[in-house]
Structure formats: C-alpha cells, structure tokens
Amino acid sequence: MQQKYGKDGLVVLGVLLDDPKDATLRADGLKYLGKVKPPFENVYLDARPEEWQKKLRIFGFPGVYVFNRDNHHVKKLPVLDDKGEEKEEVDYDVIDRVVANLMKK
C-alpha cells in the first residue's frame, strides 16, 4: 500500500510489539526486518505487552489501524467483541478500499 498510495500522501508505519525487556525477541525482530526489507518505516513500541494489549485491543498479529489525514481513527482490524473474540479478521482488501476512499478526499 505504501508503494501504491505513498505518492498521494499515505504513510505506513510498522510497529513491533516485542516486550522491551526481551533483548532476544527484539534482536529477532530486527533480523526479520533486515531480511524482508519492508517498504515502510518500522518502530518499536516501548511498552510491556500487558499495557498495549489492553489499550490497543490487539491480541493476535497482525493488527491494523487506519487514520485519516486529520489523525482520526477510521478503521481497525481485527475487530474483537467484549470477550476478545475475533468478529472481523484482518482483510487487506478491506483496508485497501478504506485507504483508497481516504485518498480521494
């Protein structure tokens, strides 16, 4: 999507959620990124999993948040119910349609 919509202003940011106290997991994450070389910036979230899981309500991977140009959240996948069960899974076709509509505005 970065390649497809980047010229129109889309910014894609990958956030790695490994526990900041686990140096091995962090090193593995950096090694993986070095291999796949994603075409967008990646950063580490400096928070323990029990903190971000509750706030972001993401318990599996990947998790996707889409924000508009005014920095308002417009879409999040997966969608979870009150029990944390998945109601709507991550579907990149859905994300692409949301982003395409936002790029028109």
Mean pLDDT of 80-90: 79
Q: What is the spatial distance between Cα 89 and Cα 91, in angstroms, rounded to a whole number? A: 6
Mean pLDDT confidence for 78-89: 79
Given a cut of 70, is residue 100 above it in pLDDT? yes
- The number of angstroms, rounded, from the C-alpha of 86 to the middle of its chain's C-alpha atoms is 16
pLDDT tens digit string along 36-81?
888 888 888 887 777 777 777 665 667 788 899 898 988 888 787 7
Model confidence at 97, pLDDT cuts 50, 70, 90, reads very high
Q: Residue ranges of the domains in the chain?
A: 2-104
Task: Give the residue with greater pLDDT, 44 vs 102.
Answer: 102
Give the pLDDT confidence of 8-34 residue by residue, as tens digits: 888 888 888 888 788 898 888 889 888
Residue 37 has phi, psi (to 5 degrees) of 45, 65
DSSP-based three-state secondary structure for 43: strand
CA angle (9, 31, 22) in 5-degree steps:
100
What superfamily does domain 2-104 belong to in CATH? Glutaredoxin (3.40.30.10)
Type of residue at 87: K
pTM over 0.85: no
